[in-house]
Structure 1
Amino acid sequence: MSSEQQTVAELSEGELLARIFPRLHHSGSVLLGPGDDAAVVAAPDGRTLISIDTQTQDQDFRLQWNNGYKTTGYDVGWKSAAQNLSDINAMGGTALSLVVSLTMPPATPVQWVEDFADGLAGGIVGLGATDCSVAGGDLGRGREIAVTVAVIGTMHGLPAVLRSGARPGDTVALAGTLGRAAAGLALLESTVPFGDLNPAQRGLVDNQCRPQPPLAAGPQGAKAGATAMMDVSDGLLRDGVRLAEASGVALDLDPVALKSLAAPLEAASALLGRDPMDWILGGGEDHGLLATFPANVQLPSCFTAIGSVQAVAEGQHTGVRIAGMPADTVGWDHFAD
């Protein structure tokens, strides 16, 4: 029976794991991988970065979207890798290993699980995190698909870059993209059939389903002296407010620099009648990096200046401004939205 016809209920846990393990990427940082009660991972820096993220069916993704697109196991595997690798990147570090918990209904096709494993490996290798591998995990039964991934990383001797280090006079900079994943989500939720989308529009859907965090940018930013840095997963304004509050400053963004990011979004904005600035300011899941650098530091080539850090006078609030004017906080909130 083919993997497309077979469901996970027809295999034992050991048989299913035997389908998964050969598909995973392996690196030298994992000294002992799947098979025992715990993995053994080398930590050459002596310090360990750790983060965790969850994707849940019908909360973070749909198996079938409104426009007819069907989410593949590869999509979910890639995104699981991308969002966790990005968290380590945002500290200026490099990921070493992932531990994955996959919960799914018994009727889930085995092919979907194999594609998920391929997506994990594809995301790790495709995004350039070749020092990282899946060290182990857990399989479970549930009413919907849920994926939780924990990631371990290292700083390679550099200090971790926190959200709290931005200082007045610093340059605000961005690495990666903004708004593309949000535009892709809007297309997925639209009534325009996926089959009718042009290549540029399908590319935006790819940005939503298979994000492209700039993994080289985190370590480069740390080496260049970034004073603060964070992953933009919930939108530029919402995450910018978080960085500003942690640092006790205000971020003043340049509208001209922001508008220069809109061109790739025109394929979706024209079709859906949406203002691309809504996606640039409020859209998350591109997993770019928002960072601040001392004004006298030459930005690494992967970063673009988009504003400056301003002091907050007594009685004023921290937060984000655009051309000096307070900006409404928009973006993703797991419980408010």
Structure 2
Amino acid sequence: MGANPTGIVVGLGMPADATTGWLDDLADGFRDECDLVGASVVGGDTTRCDLVVIGVTALGDLGGRAPVTRSGARPGDVVAVAGRLGHAAAGLALLTEGGSGPAELVDAHRRPEPPYACGPQAAALGATSMLDVSDGLLQDLGHVATASRVGVVLLPESFTVPVPMEKAARLLGVDPLEWILSGGDDHALAATFPETVRLPPEWTVVGHVVSGEGVQVRGRSMTRGGWDHFRQ
């Protein structure tokens, strides 16, 4: 929503026999990730549980600005993305098939690198809507389209397929564009901007907003794509 990160609150459930070494490693992970944005763990709760359950709430400061929500996109806006797309999905596909490389893709699945700084940057540039791509670009831009009551047209030729992903796609016999459009665990950002805004290199224009509904790719309405937690 364009806020500067300030802290996280962690809810942790774990078995009574959980090792202290494992817990130390978990705490170190929280610290290292928070250090990337100058935040810290500011509170939370722990409880006994048969399984390890972790719930994190992230807090941020808007500095008096209005939050950038999903509902502000308007026809004529451009659609842009920041961060990696498809890397984690490719890494998961490789691991599922018993592969171990390209290492860049496997590592992307195991430890994503969200473009934290690009959220506040987009807000300062005048983004009209924004969200993180956690369930796949098609799925998440569908949320923007629904909330804003607009249509989104994506341009496949705008996406660059990196060499490691091309290699993995040949190995597994798949179209890498499927990973880019439907893979969400990279936690990239997608936002819409007035077409007059000059975007910095961290952002790549991949489409535009139109009157209508849903998300279109090559003239086709994409009603499925990405992860839906409640899909039958």
Question: Partners of 1:284 and 1:109 in 2: how far apart?
Answer: 32
What residue number does 1:327 align with? Answer: 222
- Equivalent position of 1:244 in the other structure: 145
Aligned pairs for 1:7-86 (under 5 A) are none
Letter in 1 for 2:221: P
Bigger proportion of residues as strand: 2
What do residues 272-304 of structure 1 show as CA deviations (whole Å, max 9, x unaligned)? Answer: 222211211111111111111111110132110
Unmatched segments (≥5 aa) in structure 2: none
Quote the Cα distance in structure 2 between the aligned partners of 1:184 and 1:142.
31
CA distance in 2, matches of 1:97, 1:209: 23
Aligned equivalents of 1:264, 1:306: Cα separation in 2:
21
Write the letter of the residue equivalent to 1:226.
A
**Which 4+ residue blocks in structure 1 deviate beyond 3 angstroms?**
261-264
CA offsets 1:106-131 (integer angstroms, 9 cap, x no match)? 33322211111111111122xx311x
Aligned to 2:191, what secondary structure does the other structure show?
A: strand
Alignment map for 1:129-144 (pairs within 5 Å)? 129-130=37-38, 132-144=39-51
> What whole-Å deviation, never above 9, does each CA across 1:149-205 have from its counterpart, x for those lacking one?
11211112322111111111111100111111111222232223xxxx34xx22212
1:205 aligns with 2:106: yes
Letter in 1 for 2:6: L
Write the mapping of 1:1-337 to structure 2, written as runs, cut at 5 A. 91-125=1-35, 128-130=36-38, 132-192=39-99, 197-198=100-101, 201-258=102-159, 260-312=160-212, 318-336=213-231
Alpha carbons 1:240, 1:251 under 8 Å: kept? yes
Cα distance between partner residues in 2 of 1:268 and 1:141 = 41
Q: Which runs of 5+ in 1 are unaligned?
A: 1-90, 313-317
SS at match of 1:165: coil
Q: Following the alignment from structure 1 to structure 2, what is the Cα–Cα distance between the partners of residues 110 and 170?
A: 51
- Residue 31 of structure 1 corresponds to none
Q: Is the 8 A contact 1:178 1:261 kept in 2?
A: no
SS where residue 121 of structure 1 aligns?
Answer: helix
**Amino acid in structure 2 at the alignment position of 1:249:** V
TM-score (norm 2): 0.94
Decide whether the 8 Å contact of 2:7 with 2:34 is kept in 1: no
Which whole-Å deviations, capped at 9, do the CAs of 1:59-95 have from their partners, x for residues lacking one? Answer: xxxxxxxxxxxxxxxxxxxxxxxxxxxxxxxx01111
Q: Is the contact made by 2:8 and 2:57 (CA closer than 8 Å) also made in structure 1?
A: yes
Calculate the aligned-residue CA RMSD, in Å: 1.6
Normalising by structure 1, we get a TM-score of 0.66
AA at the equivalent of 2:70: R
Aligned to 1:63: none
Looking at structure 2, the residues matched to 320 and 296 of structure 1 have their Cα atoms a distance apart, in angstroms, of 22
Alpha-carbon distance in 2 for matches of 1:179, 1:329:
16
The structure whose RCO (Cα within 8 Å, separation 6+) is larger is 2
1:31-86 deviations in Å (ceiling 9; x for gaps): xxxxxxxxxxxxxxxxxxxxxxxxxxxxxxxxxxxxxxxxxxxxxxxxxxxxxxxx
C-alpha deviation, 1:262, in angstroms:
4.8
Q: Distance in 1 between matches of 2:205 and 2:163?
A: 17
- Percentage of identical aligned residues: 47
